[in-house]
Structure 1
Amino acid sequence: MALAPPPPRVLIFPLPLQGPVNSMLKLSELLCLGGLHVTFLVTDHIDARLRRYSNVQSRFRSHPGFRLQAISDGLPENHPRGDKFLEVFESMKVHTKPLFKELLQSGGISCVIADGGLGFPLDVAEEVGIPLFIVRTISAACLWVFFRLPQLIQSGELPFTGDDDLDVMVKSVPGMERYLRRRDLPSFCRSGNVADPNIELYKCESTNNPRATGLILNTFEELESPILSQMRGVCPNIYTIGPLHAHLKAKLAATGTSLPDFSNSLWEEDRFCLVWLDDQPPKSVLYVSFGSLATVTKDQLMEFWHGLVNSGQRFLWVIRQDSVAGEGQVPMELLQGSKERGCIVNWAPQEEVLAHPAVGGFLTHSGWNSTLESVYEGVPMICWPYFLDQQVNSRLVEEEWKLGFDMKDTCDRSVIEKTVRNLMEVRKDEFQRNAAQMACSAKTSLGEGGSSSSHLERLIQDIKAKSVV
């Protein structure tokens, strides 16, 4: 009797940043649960951090078809990477691309799922003859803006600078005309230069994405339906399978699989904050985190600190060791003020924090993973975006979804104090109600027959059907 052929092996290649790695590890496990084998390819730098700080290796022992594999990004070990990501992209195009081609040509890979931001994997996969799905870990709304960059330039809506009127409405992004302003476009749009490297990097999205077998998005239909209907006119085969972090938990629960908590952070987590949260009243704490890349000046730090302390609210604040530019001591009165109602940590287990009953709000940089985690847990948001897709996401939170406030382009203690009070006290019931309704939609999408659950099943079947034997 002939042995059954092994399952297709999918190579997953994320951007070498915390957010994409986080999302795509969860996608990897979902595919493993769906009966596929997965090779998770990361740069040497990311591989070292995952092995040091995360439990990826022990977590995936229950999935014997999973492999963690490293590839060089061509940069020296001491390169800062995180805040120089364009340099990382350029280096990978030169140094990683030929290594990636060798890997695909060596055999054993049936299909590739690569972050569309990398660009070159699509060219290599086409050359080698292996089907490739693009995955984007940003919002559909931001990706749609990228799709429309050529039209924004053609219409004269780009370029502009940060000194121009940022409240001018943008008309060349169908489906977003009602609420999109200049200030809500990705931050690089303010450069005043259509030859800006970021614009050059992203304006080919509308031609690259349709070349792929399909486009995988970490969102759900009910959250971004108007945008998704526009995108399908350009890129018809879209799989919306988010929120990925919750989708994985739902699948594990449905199969009765018990695994250790998923820690895939690139930083060491301080779990004391969960003990501190246990002692706080329900929905009384504002969680504050600006993600893994954002940096603030000392002056901005002090404005936030004053605003938080003066608001009179409890807060849990993540301040990474590398997040504050420059030197300087925090005034003692603010440290004392924080001790009364606050807890400060270097890094936190964010999914657990947002799910904690004591948390009633989230002051966030509006990264897409953070936004989805907050949406799923029904936590209203104050948005202070840093760069890229975050400007778009923050506008959606306030104007389209009515889940909180967009505080972009300001860092004033009185504004921060007033906004925090509005979220946590004055309009608390309104935002909690809206957030609970959206959280219900997110959970429905993951249930049997739900939109995200159905799209995941279709993706797994399509991978099996299209994989190179």
Structure 2
Amino acid sequence: MEKSNGLRVIMFPLPLQGCLNPMIQLAKILHSRGFSITVIHTRFNAPKASSHPLFTFLEIPDGLSEAEEKNPDVNLTITLLNQRCVSPFRDTLTKLLQPADSETEGAKERITCLIDDTQWIFTQSLAKSLNLPRLVVSASNVSFFLGHFSIPQLRPLTYLPLQDSEKDDPVEEFPPLRKKDIYRLLDGESETLDALLNLIYKTTKASSGLIFVSCSEELDHDALIQARQDFQVPIFAIGPSHNRFTASSTSLLAPDETCIPWLDKQEDKSVIYVSFGSVATIKESELLEVAWGLRNSEQPFLWVVRVGAVVGAEWIEAIPEELMERLKEKGKVVKWAPQQDVLKHRAIGGYLSHNGWNSTAESISEGVPMICLPFVWDQMLNARFVCEKWMVGLHLENRIERNEIDRAIRCLLLEAEGEAIRERMKLLKEKVGASLEENGSAYRSLEDLVDQIKSF
């Protein structure tokens, strides 16, 4: 850490795994540049304070019941949090901003700004009333952030039957998605989302700046140009930011550390890593298709199956004992993994991924080609980028079938097409890595962000 600059930043992460990780990464970056960090967080999905002893953590009540915490409707959860956190957050922030009593507290660091998630929509008016600059963080890539504001106008499309001949038609309002992606993206998404998006757009435009923690010019150049035109606020693309620090625990789940000794015993670039992230769920029948696909490929694998990821099951008890014994011959199944350490490992040759943006950016940073099986939200767009724009992966197109999984794994690890994909991924890794080096685009953007925060 640089010498303290006497400035403190207040950070307020949204309590979802995919949003919490980038916020804590940003906190570590700013702390390394001399800023003191206070993290205000909800009781729901509270970050592990003991993993970050140099930060100050303040918990506020969020008013969610146990049933509401388990509700799979993420948009409803975000809406409820925005309603119920107003008073406790205002009280906590106001107290922090009170002048220090010099006789009892000594000199107090100056709070320079609030940094929170774009989806915290109540905080903009509060920050303005307190004369506190507010910067917002997006955990997605820039193209998805821009495109997802078109969802309300695209929603009527999903009320019409989609003909087979139309499935692969591009969606001009939301490139590079196809019509079949839009139908999947909006399937199950409540119209609560439309009102939320309108408020996110307005409060982002009213903010003092927009930060993309895991994206850079090299990954989404054209969308950044468009975003600067649309929002007319400073935009900082400083990522993939996880590369600036060794991995540390921001996971809400405990990783199985036996992964690494197991990988140590495998040959270079021989293992397919399989993980569908912290949100996606699959049916028991789909679990079995993945299991058979991995076994039939006859390639070593490390498979993460999160507790609760299989609908109606505790874990993997639906896999018959005989198949489980055959899986153990080639692979390892765990409940959670230290993903950054896994992707860095020399033994990993490919990643069968749900394509959440954090996972996609981490895979690119380590040069690991992907097999794409997106489930929800921005994952559909990320998979299109991986397979069609950067051409560093294979797309399963929602086919959770043993033969398709077997074919894709063999292609990626053993065939000439897979080798060509690996070479393109190597070049993309180098390009993105260079952006973090001195005078690279992400490096310069971070310098601009630091200067901006100091100027408040």
Taking structure 1 as the reference length, what is the TM-score of the superposition?
0.87
Deviation of residue 147 (structure 1)?
3.1
CA distance in 2, matches of 1:354, 1:160: 41
Deviation of residue 419 (structure 1)?
1.5
SS in 2 for 1:202: helix
CA distance in 1, matches of 2:95, 2:52: 24
Deviation of residue 84 (structure 1)?
3.8
What's the CA shift string for 1:281-340, capped at 9, x where partnerless? 100000000111111110110111111111121110001121111245311232122111
Question: What are the equivalent positions in structure 2 for 1:10-409 lying under 5 Å apart?
Answer: 10-47=9-46, 50-51=47-48, 56-57=49-50, 59-61=51-53, 63=54, 66-77=55-66, 79-81=68-70, 83-108=72-97, 109-149=111-151, 152=154, 160=160, 165-173=166-174, 176=175, 179-185=176-182, 187-190=184-187, 196-217=191-212, 218-236=214-232, 237-249=234-246, 262-327=248-313, 329-409=318-398
Deviation of residue 26 (structure 1)?
1.0
SS in 2 for 1:234: helix
Deviation of residue 187 (structure 1)?
4.1
Deviation of residue 151 (structure 1)?
5.5
Shift in CA distance, 117/408, structure 1 to aligned 2, threshold 3 Å: farther
Deviation of residue 198 (structure 1)?
2.2
Moved over 6 A (4+): 161-164
CA distance in 2, matches of 1:244, 1:458: 15
SS in 1 for 2:44: helix
Identity %: 34
CA distance in 2, matches of 1:112, 1:233: 24
Which of 415, 438, 441 is 2:428 aligned to?
438
> Structure 2 counterpart of 1:242, which letter?
G
> Structure 2 counterpart of 1:274, which letter?
I
Q: How many residues align?
A: 434
Counterpart residue number, 1:252: none
Residue 7 of structure 2 contacts residue 112 of structure 2 at CA under 8 Å; is this kept in 1? yes
Deviation of residue 433 (structure 1)?
0.5
Shift in CA distance, 158/215, structure 1 to aligned 2, threshold 3 Å: farther
What's the CA shift string for 1:333-370, capped at 9, x where partnerless? 32122111110011100000000000000011111110
CA distance in 2, matches of 1:82, 1:34: 39
Deviation of residue 24 (structure 1)?
0.9
Is there any run of 5+ residues in structure 1 with no aligned partner, and where?
250-260
CA distance in 1, matches of 2:209, 2:184: 28
CA distance in 2, matches of 1:242, 1:82: 31
Residue 148 of structure 1 contacts residue 203 of structure 1 at CA under 8 Å; is this kept in 2? no
> Structure 2 counterpart of 1:431, which letter?
I
Shift in CA distance, 172/465, structure 1 to aligned 2, threshold 3 Å: same
CA distance in 2, matches of 1:283, 1:188: 33
Deviation of residue 69 (structure 1)?
1.5
Shift in CA distance, 159/11, structure 1 to aligned 2, threshold 3 Å: farther
Deviation of residue 242 (structure 1)?
0.6
Deviation of residue 233 (structure 1)?
1.2
- Range that drifts further, 226-235 or 158-167: 158-167
CA distance in 2, matches of 1:82, 1:353: 30
> Structure 2 counterpart of 1:92, which letter?
L
SS in 1 for 2:254: coil
CA distance in 1, matches of 2:199, 2:179: 21
What's the CA shift string for 1:362-402, capped at 9, x where partnerless? 01111111000000000000111121111111111100110
CA distance in 2, matches of 1:163, 1:277: 45
> Structure 1 counterpart of 2:177, which letter?
L
What's the CA shift string for 1:243-264, capped at 9, x where partnerless? 1110335xxxxxxxxxxx5122
Residue 79 of structure 2 contacts residue 196 of structure 2 at CA under 8 Å; is this kept in 1? no
> Structure 2 counterpart of 1:386, which letter?
F
CA distance in 2, matches of 1:182, 1:235: 27
Deviation of residue 430 (structure 1)?
0.7
Counterpart residue number, 2:6: 7
Question: What are the equivalent positions in structure 2 for 1:416-455 lying under 5 Å apart?
Answer: 416-426=405-415, 427-455=417-445
- Range that drifts further, 227-236 or 296-305: 227-236
What's the CA shift string for 1:134-162, capped at 9, x where partnerless? 10001111101123335546xx7565567
Shift in CA distance, 394/429, structure 1 to aligned 2, threshold 3 Å: same
Residue 373 of structure 2 contacts residue 397 of structure 2 at CA under 8 Å; is this kept in 1? yes
Residue 73 of structure 1 contacts residue 88 of structure 1 at CA under 8 Å; is this kept in 2? no
Residue 45 of structure 1 contacts residue 77 of structure 1 at CA under 8 Å; is this kept in 2? no
Residue 160 of structure 1 contacts residue 189 of structure 1 at CA under 8 Å; is this kept in 2? no
> Structure 1 counterpart of 2:8, which letter?
R
CA distance in 1, matches of 2:412, 2:197: 34
Is there any run of 5+ residues in structure 2 with no aligned partner, and where?
98-110
Residue 82 of structure 2 contacts residue 122 of structure 2 at CA under 8 Å; is this kept in 1? yes
Deviation of residue 241 (structure 1)?
0.7
What's the CA shift string for 1:14-59, capped at 9, x where partnerless? 1111121111111001111111111112211222xx43xxxx52x5
SS in 2 for 1:347: coil
What's the CA shift string for 1:164-221, capped at 9, x where partnerless? 8432221124xx3xx4312334844346x9x722233224444332211110002011
Residue 186 of structure 1 contacts residue 391 of structure 1 at CA under 8 Å; is this kept in 2? no
CA distance in 2, matches of 1:92, 1:231: 27
